[in-house]
Amino acid sequence: MDSRRDFLQKVALTAISIPFFSFSRLSAEQQISQARYDGPVLRVAIMGLGGYGTRVAEAMQSCQRAKLVGVISGTPAKIKAWQSKYGIPAENCYNYENFDSIKDNPNIDAVYVITPNALHHGQSLRVAAAGKHVICEKPMALNAREGQEMIDACKMADVKLLVGYRLHFEPKTLEIIRMRNDGELGNIRFFQGLSGFRAGDPNQWRLDKKLAGGGALMDIGIYAVNGARYMVGEEPIWITAQETKTDTVKFKEGVDETIQFQLGFPSGAVASCLSTYNMDNLDRFFLNGEKGFAELQPSTGYGPLKGRTHKGELTQPHYTHQTVQMDAMAGIILNGDKPVVPVDGEEGLKDLKIIDAIYRSCKTGERQVLEL
């Protein structure tokens, strides 16, 4: 497979858009009823019109609270095609050189940054300076220092900074979190997160440290990093990590092929995770408690996810992740809604601190103490 996008793009069902709480407790009829929305709409411009940007754009056609109204791209042909397909007016189209002038456009509220990792920081700072809300794909930056600068810039500009954690609104994921919070799993003891696939094209940007900031960990591995936190329900206090590299031609210096990492939590729970660009069929979360367990496999793909617990199969319905995500984020920005699992810049910063510590541990061989 050529990228995480290809790995995750297996089956995606077209779905209605609904508010983002209590999926598992609503009937299909109730969900459809709640999809009828008459309120403020978040007007969004997408920056980066590649494969994932296209997926978000398609999903947004079913949104109730968010609307695609603008584009930012360095490819004029893509801009023209999107204008035609999505009815985007010329005055809402920008390139990477002139998009600062978006500050003078009252018809755009937010920009979703969907570009290579190394560009997130600078582009998000410019969007914030233009007075627009920032939605940034994960990882939101290359390191914690950059992430903090993004948070500070958005606070100074009085705009929101959200990160594209679509799984924080996924019904089966939220049901497991509910079960844990309600004590149905008992005290959590162990989490396992496996995230990986075989990277294809050796010339893709994801294998270029200058653009990606690393390798598999910065791309697919962040799902296990973030998943360990929201599944266990605690913040880790230490980490150890080991890197394995078998192909130094494809995975050059600074581009990790495979990393195993272990997390320790205040309660005594531990996590064991794997991030790789050299093994297929790795997309599994497993959470074990004193009273029961929960498993998702696949756990992070575009869907439908599949899961089970000690009580049986998880049967919550599948909705297009990005549709639910964008409607939920509109609610956060416009109405101050509070999601079950945060998606703000502080959430993204915690993942970056963990990633920084993983790379330090791989380099030094030492356990890293975490303060998130």
Which member of 52, 112, 132, 138 is catalytic?
138
Judge contact between 153 and 337, C-beta under 8 A.
no
Which member of 52, 94, 112, 223 is catalytic?
223
User: Among this protein's residues, is 223 annotated catalytic?
Assistant: yes
Torsion sign (Cα): 295, 331, 234, 165:
positive
User: Among this protein's residues, is 319 annotated catalytic?
Assistant: no
**Three-state DSSP class for residue 1:** coil
- Residue 272 CB neighbour total at 10 angstroms: 16
**Three-state DSSP class for residue 190:** strand
Q: What single-letter amino acid sits at 363? A: K
Structure tokens at 75: 């490819």
Judge contact between 273 and 264, C-beta under 8 A.
no
d(CA 143, CA 148): 9
Please list, residue by residue across 296-326, b when 16 or more beta carbons sit within 10 angstroms of its beta carbon and e when fewer do: bbbbbbbbbbebebeeeebebbbbbbbbbbb
Q: Distances in Å between the alpha carbon of 92 and those of 54, 103, 135? A: 17, 11, 17
CA dihedral 33→35→36→40, nearest 10 degrees, is: 150
CA dihedral 174→230→144→206, nearest 10 degrees, is: -70
- DSSP per-residue letters across 201-264: -TTSGGG-HHHHSSSHIIIIIHHHHHHHHHHHTS--SEEEEEEE-S-TTTS-TT--SEEEEEEE
Residue 355 region by backbone torsions, left for phi larger than 0, else alpha for psi between -120 and 50, else beta: alpha
List the catalytic residues.
138, 223
